[in-house]
Amino acid sequence: MSSEGTVYDLGYTPYEGPRLGRSGAIRAIFVDSIRRSLGLRRKPWAKVLPWALVGAAIAPAAFFVTFTFMVSGFSVEDAGAFGSPDQFFDYIGTLEMLFVALITPTLLVPDRQHGVLSIYASRPVYSSDYLLARAGAVLLLATLFMLIPHAVLFFGISALNVGGLWAGLKFNADQIPEILITTVAYVVGYGAPAFLVSLYAKRVAIGTGVYVAVMFMTGALADAIPLASGLLAFKVLAPMSLFFHPMTVRDWLFDLEGSGMPLARVDLPQWVAAISIVVVAVVSAGLALKRYRSEI
Amino acid sequence: MSCPIIEFDDLSHSYGDFVALSGLRGSVPPGSIGLVGANGAGKSTLIKVLLGILKPSGGSARVLGLSVTEDTIPMRARVGYMPERGGLPPDQTAADFMIYAAELAGVPHRAAKQRASDVLTLVGLHEERFRHLGDFSTGMLQRALLAQSIVHDPDLVFLDEPLSGLDPEGRDEMLRLIGRLRGFGINALVSSHILTDIESTCDWIVMLDGGRVTRNSSLHEETRSRTVELEVLGQAEQAEATLRDRGATVTRHGLRMEVTVSDADPYDLVLGVLSESEAGIRLLRPSVTTLEDVYLEGDLGGT
């Protein structure tokens, strides 16, 4: 046997396997969106913020359940905001807004900033497929971001029931539809404006900053509305309080009065918040399709 | 001509009032095609129309026999594209992005991993495959862009100014890679305003000027010379007169002449004339016609 090696040019091998077409491309974009949002297969710093927010969302619920279980005499009612699903939304809702503020620009802005859309344009996808896959990933992650801590809380509280876990689950089961629908309100109510801002932002940080500023400003404006105001200007302003709409929907679903909410201040019904959320979502979708029509 | 890979029929595109492409007609055979034109001639617009990104304002186009407007998805599944600028996310490794680029074209994950590894080796980036694209040099980025355009084994790849920003060594390397595509069974449409690049890689040219096709023909045909350089030993005036009598156009500087014949082989004519005279041949060679000559001829009023 010769001890000398030989280097061969392996040349080029044509691909003759299956091609998954458009559905394969959409799946690839969706998976890439999940990875990019959570910083997976990216540099370490890309993981810090999303996972810190995930930790901040789950940790209090897990801590509360563990603490209640370990400390005798501490009851569910003693836990304040963490003691019931409707109040837990107050805490996790703000984190949810920060989470979508972080991930939505990350999914949309860099592809435009670095010219990657031209690569999508040479693949078997339409612009609507690209947007659908990106939006789908935002919706899934934002939904899980809210539901997982709620699940920890729900199962934890149920397990603390004096009759045991099963009895606790049956006792609390009537809250499940409200939790699910309120979660949808938060996801769409906070996700759609984030998507809208990300369509036009030139940098991720700008997109995140503008979105957070818009949400807090609309909240602050609505806070400035005097109680029981009959002025038309305030009646117009109140439905624009994007920050409060998911909370108003929650109050509507959980039969809470929500007297401090902007819509209540101008005597508008709570369901107007749901309408506002839908309108913003539809406008965002329409503008997204228009914005990307000549890109992909 | 064998079955064309690109066909235009009165193809036009306008950006508002600005006409970028106007009444393009013709077809292009398989192989390496040079898309030539000055900046703003309409090259990038034509590529975008052929990819189905921009809708034609008028007329139609077919790529690989598929309509760019009605069969956009099946057509895109069979093409690749290397954009002039950008196209690569800096936060991903070369390997990850190649896998993603293959999956975007419908290649299943396991096969996409294999294809990514193969094409990165092919373009000389195998050692760099786990580096982030944001850390790549310009030359490496161009090779990565070429790799993503062929990772799914397309039938046709559009290369938009593939040599822009490269140093001489990088240009040579990229030209060598582009030249190999045909051997892989991949047709290429190479857009460039640098004519020597097209000359060294392509066998067909489509020349654009002001949104119109000024030439669409074989590069060999365009650069085939009908002019020869001739240097004779004595009797130069007599040889010149005889050549003129036989219909040739002659420009003489002492004993040296340039002889152009429009409808016959210039060598046959020159050798025939000189064999009848007493002049000897010191030099007889083709006058070199470059693509630049052809381009300038077109620019100055050629077809």
For every residue of A142-195, DSSP letters joined together read HHHHHHHHHHHHHHHHHHTSTT-HHHHHHHHGGGHHHHHHHHHHHHHHHHHHHH
If pLDDT is split at 50, 70 and 90, which confidence band does B228 have? confident
Q: What is the DSSP string of B209-269?
A: ETTEEEEEEEHHHHH---EEEEEEES-HHHHHHHHHHTT-EEEEETTEEEEE-SSS-HHHH
Considering only alpha carbons, which residue of chain A is nearest residue B15?
A: A294
Highest mean pLDDT among A164-178, A252-266, B139-153, B161-175: B139-153
The answer to whether B227 touches B220, Cβ cutoff 8 Å, is no
Long-range contacts of B108-115 (CB under 8 A, 24+ apart): B108/A17, B108/A18, B108/A20, B108/A24, B111/A15, B111/A17, B112/B151, B115/A15, B115/B151, B115/B152, B115/B153
**Best residue in B13, B70, B103 to probe A by mutation, most A CBs within 10 Å?**
B103
Q: Judge whether residue B200 has pLDDT over 90.
A: no
pLDDT tens-digit readout, A178-231? 899 999 999 999 999 999 999 999 999 999 999 999 999 888 877 776 665 566
DSSP summary character for residue A76? G
Residue recorded with tokens 């394969």: A24
pLDDT at B291: 65
Section B105-121 average pLDDT:
95
Report the b/e string of B38-69 with b at 16+ CB within 10 A.
eeebbbbbbbbbbbbbbebeebebbbbebebe
For the ranges A97-101, A236-240, B51-55, B65-69, the lowest mean pLDDT is seen at A236-240
pLDDT at B280: 84
Section A157-172 average pLDDT:
81
pLDDT at A73: 59
Q: Judge whether residue B223 has pLDDT over 70.
A: no
Cα–Cα distance for residue pair B37/B194, rounded to 1 Å: 9
Cα–Cα distance for residue pair A43/A61, rounded to 1 Å: 29
Section B58-78 average pLDDT:
95
pLDDT at B300: 45
For the ranges A36-40, A73-77, B76-80, the lowest mean pLDDT is seen at A73-77
Query: Cα–Cα distances in Å, from A8 out to A5, B57, B117, B128?
Result: 10, 50, 16, 20
DSSP summary character for residue B50? H
Contacts of B93 in chain A (CB under 8 A): 41
If pLDDT is split at 50, 70 and 90, which confidence band does B198 have? confident
Q: How far is A284 from chain B (nearest CA, A)?
A: 22
Section A143-153 average pLDDT:
94
pLDDT at B301: 42
Does A124 lie at the interface with B, CB-CB under 8 angstroms?
A: yes
Contacts of B85 in chain A (CB under 8 A): 115
Compare A266 and A44 and report the one with higher pLDDT: A44
Cα–Cα distance for residue pair A88/A82, rounded to 1 Å: 5
Does A10 lie at the interface with B, CB-CB under 8 angstroms?
A: yes
Q: How far is A40 from chain B (nearest CA, A)?
A: 10
Section A76-81 average pLDDT:
55
Tell me which residues of chain A, numbers 56 to 115, contact chain B at a CB-CB cutoff of 8 Å.
Answer: 110-111, 114-115
CB contact under 8 A, B108 and A20: yes
Does A8 lie at the interface with B, CB-CB under 8 angstroms?
A: no
Query: Cα–Cα distances in Å, from A244 out to A90, A214, A219, B14?
Result: 10, 12, 6, 46
Structure tokens at B90: 């800096």
- For chain A, the C-alpha Rg in angstroms (whole number) is 24
pLDDT at A229: 59
Q: Judge whether residue A148 has pLDDT over 60.
A: yes
**Best residue in B68, B104, B176 to probe A by mutation, most A CBs within 10 Å?**
B104
Its ipTM equals 0.88
Section B12-19 average pLDDT:
93
pLDDT at B297: 65
Coil vs helix vs strand at B22: strand
If pLDDT is split at 50, 70 and 90, which confidence band does B39 have? confident
What sign for the dihedral angle of Cα B92, B96, B97, B98? positive
If pLDDT is split at 50, 70 and 90, which confidence band does B303 have? very low
CB contact under 8 A, B104 and A41: no
pLDDT over 90 for what percent of chain A?
Answer: 58
Compare A168 and B8 and report the one with higher pLDDT: B8
If pLDDT is split at 50, 70 and 90, which confidence band does A104 have? very high
Considering only alpha carbons, which residue of chain B is nearest residue A118?
A: B87
pLDDT tens-digit readout, B250-279? 888 888 888 888 777 888 888 888 888 777
Q: Judge whether residue A260 has pLDDT over 80.
A: no
CB contact under 8 A, A18 and B108: yes
Average per-residue pLDDT for chain B: 88
Q: Judge whether residue B232 has pLDDT over 90.
A: no
pLDDT tens-digit readout, A196-208? 999 999 999 999 9
Cα–Cα distance for residue pair B281/A126, rounded to 1 Å: 66
